[in-house]
Structure 1
Amino acid sequence: MQIIVLVCLALIMFKKPPHKIFTSSPLRNSDVKALRQRVLTLFPDAKDKIDVEMLVPKGISSCKFDNHLDETGVLYSSPEKEPLWFTMGKGGGIAQSNLIPTVYTLWKCPTLLPTISTPAAVIPILVGGADLMIPGVVPSPIIPSLAQGQLVSVTQYRSATPLVVGSMAINGSELKDDDDQKGKAVITLHATHDALWAMGSKQEPPEGKQPEAVALTPDVVDGVTEIVKGVNLDGQTEQGESPTVGEAASPERAPTTQEIDTVLRSTALYALARVDASSLPLPASTFYSSHVLPSRPARPILPQTNETDQPIDPKLFISHLDIKHTSHKKLATFLKTFEKDGILKLKDVRGELLVFSIDAKHPALAEAGKWGWKTTGSEERSKKERELSEENGTNGTAKEIIVDEVWFPEASTEGFFEACGQSAPHYTLSSLRPLLTKYITTHNLQHPTNPKFVVLGDVLLRALLRKGEDEKEFVGRDELVDRLSGNMKGMWRVGGTGAFKKLPLHPVNVQTKTRQGRKVVTLTTGLEPFGIDPEVLSEELRKRCASSTSVSPCVEKPKQLEVMVQGNQTKAVTTLLLELGLPRKWVKVSENAGKGKGK
C-alpha cells in the first residue's frame, strides 16, 4: 500500500507561548490524591504499567493560563517545573474529561494513550503545527476501536516514542485502507518542540534527537510527498531505503549576525517603500509586525564570500530573521539607523515610538521600490488560499460558515421535555414552537375564549414562569418560545464541531469612524469566533480597496483584533465577509462617519 501524505495547518494550542500565565501554587495533599484518582479513573491501564506517583508526583503545582488563541486552561507541573498535564476550557470538547498528558508524561508511560503511527517524514510537519490527515495514518489493529474525540499519541512508524498528543477527528472505524480517502484523522493539541514543551526542561525524546519542526511551505510539502509516496507497510521506500526527514529539509549553517543585519535592513527598506503615507503616523511595533516581518524574502540568498562557504538553509535563515537576532537587539535602535540616514522620522508620543514620516523620495527607497521578491507574507497568504480552495472546492468559493445556536434544558424545563417524550441534549429555537404547540393541543390547554392565550398547567407553569415572577394562569402564545428558551441555557459553536460556548454570540461589527478631523476609516471586529483570520481579511481588503490596511488589538476588547482600512469601505468589507462564508445575519454594519470617498 502506498501512503500519500497530506497535511493541514492546525490552530495548535501551543504553537506560540501562552500570552498570560497566572501564579503557580502547589496542590494540597487532598488535591494531589484527587488528581491521582482522576488519572487512574481516566487511564485505568496506567495502574498496571507504572506507579501513579510518577505521573502525579508529590509537590505537583497548578496554574491557570490563557494561550495565544485566548483559550483558558490549567497546567499541572512537577516540582522541577516540568509540564505534566493540562486541561483546556471548562470541560467537554475532548474525551478523557479534558485532562491531557504532555509528551514529558508520555515518555514515562508511552502506552498511557492509544498510539497512531505515521511515516518519519511527516513527523516534522506535525511538530510544526499540522493536523494528521487520513492518508498519513499507518494502518493498525487498534484504530477501529478509537472514538471521535479520544486522546491519542502519534509516533514515528516503527518507534514507540510519543512525539505528538492529539484527539481523534473521526471515529477510527471510519478510517479505511484507501489511498483516496481524505480529511483529518488526528487534531494536534501539543507536540515535541512546541511552546508547552519549551516551558519544561526541553528534553529530547528518549530515542534521541528528533527532526526539527518544519514550516509548511509548498516546497516542503512537495518534498515530503515525494519522500513518502512509496512508503509501504514494511516502512521501506520503493528503493528499499527508510525515508528520512533530512531528505526533505537538510539543515546547513545558521546565518551570522552580520548577514541578518544586512537582510533585515533590506527587508525594512522594501517595506518602507510600500507604506501608504495616509497610514502615518504608525506605531513602530505595528510597522515591524505588519510591514517588516511579512516583507521578509521567502528565499533569502546571500553571495558566498569564497568557494568554501557553506550555503545557508532558507528556512533556518527565516527563523533567525528578526530583531532579537540582529546586532541592534531592540526595534528602536534598529529604526534610529534609518532616521540617521534621513529615510524616516521617529517621534515618541506618551512613551510610544511612532514612525512619524517617511521620505518616499530618498534614493534608498526609490531603489527599494524597484525590488521584487516573494515574501513570507505572500507565501503564507498563498498557502491559506490553497487550503481554502482544497477545503471548499477548486473554485475557491467558501462554503457557508455553520453557526449553531442551541438551548440546553435546565432543571425548570426538564419536566416539559420529558412530558413531550424528548431526550435530546439540546434544541434549536425553531424546534421549540412545534413542541409547545403539540403539548398544548395534546393536553387541551387552549384558552377557552381567547386563542391568543394558553392555560398554564403545572408543567408549563414551571417551564415558562420567569425567575421572581408571580404565578400566572395564562400567558400569550407569542411569549411561549421566549419564555421557554429564557429558562434554558443558550449556547453556540461555529463549524459544526467542537465544544459549545455560552450565548450571546455577537456578529462581526463593521463600522466607519472619523479620525484626525476628516479622515474616515472602516473598522472590523469580532472575526475570531467565526474562524476568519484578520490578517487574511486585511490583506485582501488592501488589494480590493487599493487602500492602506492594518491589524491591531481592539481598544474596547484587547483580546480581539481590529482590521482597519482607509475610507468608507463597508460595502467591500461586507461583500468579502459573505464570500468567506459568513451568513449575512452575522454581519452588523454601522455608519458612524460621513460616507467619504469609497475606492
Structure 2
Amino acid sequence: MFKKPLSNLKTSAPLRSSDRRKLKQRIVAAYGITSEEGDILVPDGLLSIKFSTHVEEPGVVYTHPDGNPLWFTLGKNSEDLIPTVYTLWKKQDLLPFLSTPAAVVPILIGGADLMIPGVIHCPMALNEHQLVAIRQYSRKDGKPALSPPVAVGRMALPSDQLRSPVKEKGKAVHVIQTWKDHLWDMGSKGDIPADTVLDQEGEDISDSEDEKGGSNEAAATPPPASPAPEESEESNSATYTPAEVTELLHKALLQAISTTLKVLPSSSFPIPATQLYSNYILPCRPAFPTLVIPPSEDAPRIQSKEAPHVETEITIKASSHKSLTTFLKAAEKASLLTLKPPQKQQPDVLITAVNVAHPEVASHKPFATAKDIELTAAKKAAKEEKANEAGKELEVRELWKPHQSTVELFEEFGVDKHELFSMEQIRSLLNGYITAHDLVNPREQAYINLDDLLYSCAANESKSKSKGKDKGAEPEFTMDRFMKRDELTKKIVGKMQSWYEVKTEGKEPVTKKGTLKPIQVVMKVRQGRKVATLISGFEPFLLIDAEVMAEDLRKACAGATSVSPIPGKPAGSGSEVLVQGKQSAIVLEYLLGKGIPKKWVEVHNLSGK
C-alpha cells in the first residue's frame, strides 16, 4: 500500500485534547488494552496528517510528536484505526501474528502480499479480513527466534482454510504496511528491536519450515503437529484434561466480564468473537492455573512447594469444545452473554452484550491473570530503564584555579598552582593547613587566627584615605586578624579563577574557563498578548546545535519555534530558542531527559499570570 511515496500530504495539525481522548478510547476498546497502554500508544501532542496513496486512496495518519507514524486510516470516512510497525514495536502482542522465513521479508517490503506457501506459523481462529502482524522466523544458536513485527495486513482467508492441505496456493495476507516502506520513512527510521528467542519449538513453529524456499512462492506444507509431551522426570509439573481446560477458560471469561468487559461503554458492542477471545479471554487466563483448578490427573505427582509447571496449553484447541463458537454458545446458554449470528460483511459471531449481574460473575473470586504478570514485568522493565536513564545524568562540577594572591597560598599547600580544584578539595587543603599551623582560636573554636599568608589572601584592599598619597603607596587593610572557617573559605575562593567541567558518560569531559550559570527558561509576553517560552544559556550543557534543540521542541510542544542571538549580548555569546506558548513544563522535561541536573535549570514566569 505504501510502496510508493504518499501524495497530497497536508500540513500536520495537532489534535485537540478531546479528540485525542476519543481516539484513545476507540483504540482501547478495539484492541482490548489498558488505559495506561493507551497513553503510550496514543500520546499527548499527537498530530494528524491527511494524505493520498499512489492509487489515490485517501487516508489520515496520526504521528507521535517526534514524527513517528503510529496509527492510520484508509478510505473515505473510514473508522478502522490500523497500527503501524512503529506502534507494534512498542506493543508486539497488540495483534495476532503469522511468521514467515527471512527470504520472504524483502519481497513483502517490495509490495507483495504474503502467500500461503510462505507461512510458517499461523494461530487458530483467525477470520477473513482480520488484522494481523507478520514476523520473521529464524534460528539463533539452534533455537527458534521471532523478529518484531515487520508488516501489518489483513487475512485473505480464514486460518482454518489456510491450514487445509487442499489450500497450497494463493494469498494468505493482504499486506497493508511494512517496515522500510514510505510510511515508515516518515518516522525516525530507528533500528528494529532485537529478536525474541524461544526456549523451545512451539506447536505451530517447526523445524520443517526453517528458512525454506528463496521466494514467497516457495512450496511449503502445513506445519506438523508437535509430538505428545514425554513424561517429565521432574515431579513439579502438571497437565490438564480437556474438560479442565474448558473450566479454566470459563473462569477466564468470568474474570473478563467482572473486570475489563464490565467497564466498556455500550458503544463498544458488538464485539467479534475472535476479538473477544484474543483481547479479553486469553489475557484473563489464570497466571497460576493450579491454584484456581487443581489438575486431577497430576495432583498426586506435585510435591514441590513451588507452583508447578503447566504443560497443557490453556486454549480453545485444548478444551473439550475445540471450537470458539461452541464455547461461546455454551456461555450464551448459561446466560453469561448474548450472541448475534454472523453477518455478510462480518463472518464472525458477534457478542452484543455481557451479563455483569449474572450470579456466577457476582460470586467470582478474582485471581492473578497472565496479563497482570506481563504488566508487572513491563513496569519493572520500565523502572529499570528509567533508572538506567537517570544514571546517564551529566556530571557538572564547579572548579577554581589559584589566582593573584592565592597562588602563594596554594604553593604553601604543596600542590601545583596550575591545577583546578573543587570546593571539597579547597576545604580539605585549607583545613590541613590550619591544623598544621595550629591556627584554631583557643577561646573561640569557630574562629581561625589568620597568619600573614591567610590575612593577605582574605583581606579586602581599601582605597587610600588621603587622595594625596602616592599611587605606589601600600594599601591599608581594615580587617580583624581572625575569621570563621566558612567565611575564610569563601574569601579565598572569591579571589580564585572560576572554571567548570561538564562530563558525559562515554565522552571526554569538557573543561572551560568562566562561571557556570543555570539554563534560563523564561515565559514572557511578546507581541501583544502572546506568551512565549525562551531558553538560553544551554550551550555549556548540551552538545547539540540550537537548531536541533528547536526542532526537537517543535515536535514535543507541537508549536512554532525559532532561534536567534540573545538580545543585548555581543555576537557569539550564545543563542536563544523561542517556543510559542507556555511550554516550561515540556522544556524542563526535555532538558532533564538530556541528563541536565535539575539544579542547573531555572524556570521563571514573567507572563503576569
Say whether the fold is shared (TM-score over 0.5).
no
Scaled by the length of structure 1, what TM-score is found?
A: 0.33
- Rg: which structure is higher? 2
